[in-house]
Amino acid sequence: MAVVAAVFLLVSASVFACTRAVYQGLDDLVLTARSMDWRDEIPANLWLFPRGMERSGEAGPNSVTWTSQYGSIVTSAFDIASTDGMNEKGLVANLLWLAESTYPEFGPDQQGLSVAAWVQYVLDNFATVEEAVEALRQESFVVVSADIPGTDRFASLHLSISDATGDNAIFEYIDGELQIHHSRAYTVMTNSPPFASQLALNEYWKQIGGLTMLPGTNRAADRFVRASFYMDAIPRTGDESIAVASVFSVIRNASVPFGISSPTEPNIASTRWRTVSDHKNLVYYFETALSPNTFWVNLKDVDFSEAESVQKLSLDHNQIYSGNAVDRFEPARPFEFAGL
């Protein structure tokens, strides 16, 4: 099976590591933060996708197909994959590395979905975590992946989603079986080990107490512990400005300093960009390591109707934006998901 499910097109053995954390504030304020960590440059762009787009799972003749029900904003990687985003209903999806992933066999009698389109499938089709869990539990298609081209490294990923109610779910393929972790309490996810083991490690550190000592390395398990502790420690508020500032401070604390990576630790790589998604107010915040400021996109200012065109905000040359950048998007042809 020659799947070009090259979620990220590199010719070296680079991989990416990330941290994702959810803040549950007052007055129904819910924020999801995410850092994207990658050993080398990872060109990213922001895209606005309207409703009514005809989609393909890009897994050959047996690809799953769908028409997008909801408009969304996504961050692409190399313009071949949606790695992060939020739809107009406040559902957020994040794709993170998981070395232990083992996907099912993709047979001729099954429908397939490229892992590069996994995030987009969820954002296009569901308004809540509950809806997504109920549908994906049916396993009506197989998620397809393969080696990153030019390397012997398998593109192994897991998916987290969160919604405006504060609900959360994490989807992992372990030993070829889909594992779904669904709970409002599952607010943090990093990379290895699989999520169940991440929870067990965090329980150990809870007994020690974050005010006594926290693990300080850039390893995925340590980032999980720090993000969990600090997300619980920051003030619970309904003030959007305070909450966004607090959540950014947490995800920055769990980020990897620029220029740091480890060839022997695939889950340690420099943070390239960070996002914070405001589920309630439908604002998508974005910052990169190489730009001096944070900007945002207010989805309430976006027309997601079927008649509208796809819009793109270029970030692949460290362009600088400020404030609400919704007016800086330009019409563009949608990128094609990596696939067969």
Q: How far apart are CA 256 and CA 238, in angstroms?
A: 29
Task: Tell me if the bond preceding 193 is cis, omega within 30° of 0.
Answer: yes
Three-state secondary-structure class, residue 298: strand
Helix, strand, coil percentages, rounded to 5, for the chain: 20, 30, 50
Q: CA torsion, points 295, 300, 306, 310, in degrees to nearest 10?
A: -10
Tell me which of 5, 6, 18, 81 is the catalytic residue.
18
The CA-atom distances, in angstroms, between 322 and each of 63, 285, 295, 313 are 39, 11, 5, 12
Active site residue 319: no
Name residue, tokens 């954002």: 123
Cβ atoms of 92 and 128 within 8 Å: the answer is no
DSSP symbol at 154: B
Q: How far apart are CA 75 and CA 7, in angstroms?
A: 13
Active site residues: 18
